[in-house]
Chain A
């Protein structure tokens, strides 16, 4: 085959239908779902070819899990601490939700990376729906978060002897809820990425978001044992509902009813985040 044949039009190109103007094109584009599937595969592939991503992603929850349980389990438990429950049992859902927040931030970082390395510019010059890239990011990150959560749970069970009362079924249900929260929260950070478009403000936002979101919640202490003002903040924090529900499910405690506000808040975040992300991403580069 000659250079000019490679550069020119393939013979296999479909002839232009009579009613469409313009010359024939080689491939007539792909559907939105195909684009999402291919772009999700592309992001997941980077996880496989670069295992460092998973390893470093795991470092945060694993270190948190071991540090928290080793530092605090010897302490006397505060008055409102659930009876008959170890600190490991108590804090495990918080570790999973913490992983959800970090994974969600990672979705935003992934979008910023694509903006920076020119991938977005490339895709925008092609007949591709820009939202497909965002959805692909959110989905591939969900897979990554699932792998991380599975590894954290396995480590907790095998190394630390984590054995939640709720049993395997409820543990899986709580993991599923955490993953749903990961995915919905991811849209908040994808929206931030679509508007901020640079790595530094994203990192600042991440730091600013993580501490209040997790410490002003029921993550590490029961809300009723927090100082009054912080407890009030914690009660308004959507993550409190997520953590309470996850905890109630896994430990078979009362309070699984918090699943309703947890889901509603999550869906709200996803919808608002998704719309803002789509609008922000559509602005010219």
Chain B
């Protein structure tokens, strides 16, 4: 091998993922509501959203596992409804749960997939070995995936989805449940993939992950794209500074919010972190927040300023999921 991926693009541009007004209806549930996203070759598109936002459904439509109810989707130049077989030849999928044969060793799993994709025995083994080495799985190659740690299994699963040199790789919440070092390791793999010319679509609930990896981000909520653009664009769209206060333990957040609201500002409770986030126009508004809480007899244990981050994008744009209230 002498070089990197040589794009042998078809005519008509380098758009590798394209969804145009895609809807998916399950009974009375509208899982996807006229979703449009696209990604150019060699870029990362992140679908950002909480559980149930429709991320996995969109991945299923784009990998030709589920037909869209309406709208059009094309991956690697092929329509997912008309040419699902051609789409499957060109995509790799790593789902939320490891999808490997528990009864075969890690290596045999990779060999099996290569053989099914049409490789002869020799090149299937060669492909398995190079992926095992790349993913640092050589020492575990002969063992069954059941004996792997969570991080190892995720790596094997990712390796499995790369066996066929896919043009487009779908990673559905690839780092959920991974420890920080495994997560970093996976991020580096994704960056290498993209440097090699592969197009990646990843779904995530982690904003730092989208910020670090994605060239463009689509924020999904209740099946609809509520915002999209680069990380910088999204931040500028929100364009607000925030003050985050942590009230003393035992404080009723509703009381604190009411006090802040009376002072003319709009607080948002982040129950997961036990904090209250307030969008501010100017620095003096921070003092307004403090005075309002002080006036209500609420002690503040921590106060911080935030420049716009993806968290704020999410809080500002996404429909408030359970656990968030305004």
A interface list, Cβ under 8 A from B: 1, 3-11, 13, 15-16, 21-30, 34-35, 38-39, 42, 45-46, 49-50, 114, 117-119, 121-128, 284-285
- Indicate if B102 sits at the interface (CB-CB under 8 A): yes
B308 interface residue (CB < 8 Å to A): no
Contact with B1, one of A1, A28, A42, A125 (Cβ below 8 angstroms): A1
Q: Is the CB of B101 within 8 A of A21?
A: no
Sampled A-B contacts (7; CB under 8 Å): A22-B76, A22-B167, A118-B98, A125-B161, A127-B85, A127-B88, A284-B65
Decide if A9 touches B165 in the complex (CB within 8 Å): yes
Given the interface pairs A8-B4, A126-B164, the reply to whether A118 lies near B116 with Cβ below 8 Å is: no
Binary interface profile of B, 73-90, with partner A (CB < 8 Å = 1, else 0)?
A: 000111000000110111
Number of A-B contacts (CB under 8 A): 155
Contact pattern, B 177-207, Cβ under 8 Å of A = 1, otherwise 0: 0000000000001001101111000000000
Nearest CB on A from B207, distance (A): 26
Instruction: Give Cα A215–Cα B112 distance, bound, in whole angstroms.
Output: 42
Q: Which of the residues A23, A46, A118, A121 comes within 8 Å of B10, measured between beta carbons?
A: A23
Given contacts A23-B90, A125-B93, contact A6 B101 (CB under 8 A): no
A203 vs B217: C-alpha distance when bound (angstroms): 45
Residues from chain B with a CB closer than 8 A to the CB of A125 are: 63, 65, 88, 91-93, 161
The interface residues of chain B lying within 8 Å CB-to-CB of A16 are 8, 10
A122 to B113, CA, bound (A): 9
Contact of A119 among B11, B12, B100, B118 (CB under 8 A): B100
Q: Nearest A residue to B196 by beta-carbon distance?
A: A8
Known: A22-B77, A125-B92, A284-B66. A27 touches B4 (CB 8 A): no
Do B104 and A45 touch (CB < 8 A)?
A: yes
Consensus secondary structure, chain A interface: loop
Contact of A11 among B3, B99, B100 (CB under 8 A): B3
Asked whether, in the complex, the Cβ of B97 is within 8 Å of the Cβ of A118, the reply is: yes
Q: Decide if B95 touches A4 in the complex (CB within 8 Å).
A: no
* Alpha-carbon distance between A28 and B117 when the two chains are bound, in angstroms: 7
Q: Is the CB–CB distance between B116 and A26 below 8 Å?
A: no
Which chain B residues lie closer than 8 Å to A26 at the CB level? 117, 119, 164-165
Q: Report Cα–Cα, A11/B161, bound state, in Å.
A: 19
The minimal Cβ–Cβ distance linking A116 to chain B, given in whole angstroms, is 9
**Is B108 in the interface zone, CB < 8 Å from A?**
yes
Tell whether A42 pairs with B101 under 8 Å between CB atoms, given A7-B162, A8-B198, A123-B116. yes
Distance A121 CA – B94 CA, assembled complex (angstroms):
10
Cβ A49 vs Cβ B9 within 8 A: no
A22 touches B78 (CB 8 A): yes
Q: Does B301 contact A (CB under 8 A)?
A: no
Query: Would B118 and A28 count as touching, CB distance under 8 A?
Result: yes
Q: Which residue of B lies closest to A37 (CB)?
A: B115
**Are A39 and B116 in contact (CB-based, < 8 A)?**
yes
> Across the interface, do A7 and B3 meet the contact criterion of CB distance under 8 Å?
no
Residues of B bordering A, CB below 8 Å: 1-12, 60, 63, 65-66, 76-78, 85-86, 88-93, 95, 97-104, 108, 112-119, 130-131, 134, 160-162, 164-165, 167, 189, 192-193, 195-198
Give A243 to B162 CA distance when docked, in angstroms: 50
- Contact at B2–A30, with CB atoms within 8 Å? no
- Cβ–Cβ contact A9 & B197, under 8 A: yes
Contact B167 A23 (CB under 8 A): yes
* Cross-chain contact B1 with A10 (CB below 8 angstroms): yes
Whether B116 contacts A7 by the Cβ 8 Å rule is no
Q: Do A127 and B99 form a contact, CB below 8 Å, given A25-B165, A29-B89, A122-B160?
A: no
Least CB distance, A107 to chain B, in whole angstroms? 16
Bound state CA distance, A34 and B115, in angstroms? 9
Instruction: Note all chain A residues with C-beta closer than 8 A to B93.
Output: 122, 125
A-chain residues with CB within 8 Å of residue B119 when the two chains form the complex = 26-27
CA distance A278 to B293 in the complex (A): 64
- Are A7 and B1 touching (Cβ within 8 A)? no
- Across the interface, name the chain B residue whose C-beta is closest to A285: B65
Given contacts A7-B198, A25-B165, A29-B89, contact A126 B117 (CB under 8 A): yes
Provide the bound-state CA to CA distance between A13 and B9, in Å: 14
Known: A30-B118, A285-B65. A9 touches B6 (CB 8 A): yes
Partner of B192, one of A7, A22, A23, A118: A7
Chain A residue nearest to B85 (CB atoms) is A127
Other A-B pairs beyond A7-B162, A27-B118, 14, CB < 8 Å? A21-B10, A25-B164, A27-B117, A27-B164, A28-B89, A28-B118, A30-B118, A38-B112, A49-B104, A117-B100, A121-B95, A122-B160, A125-B91, A128-B116
Q: Are B115 and A30 interface neighbours, CB within 8 A?
A: yes
Residue of A5, A27, A123, A284 with most chain B CB atoms under a 10 A cut-off: A27
Given A7-B198, A38-B112, A118-B98, check contact A127 B5 (CB 8 Å).
no
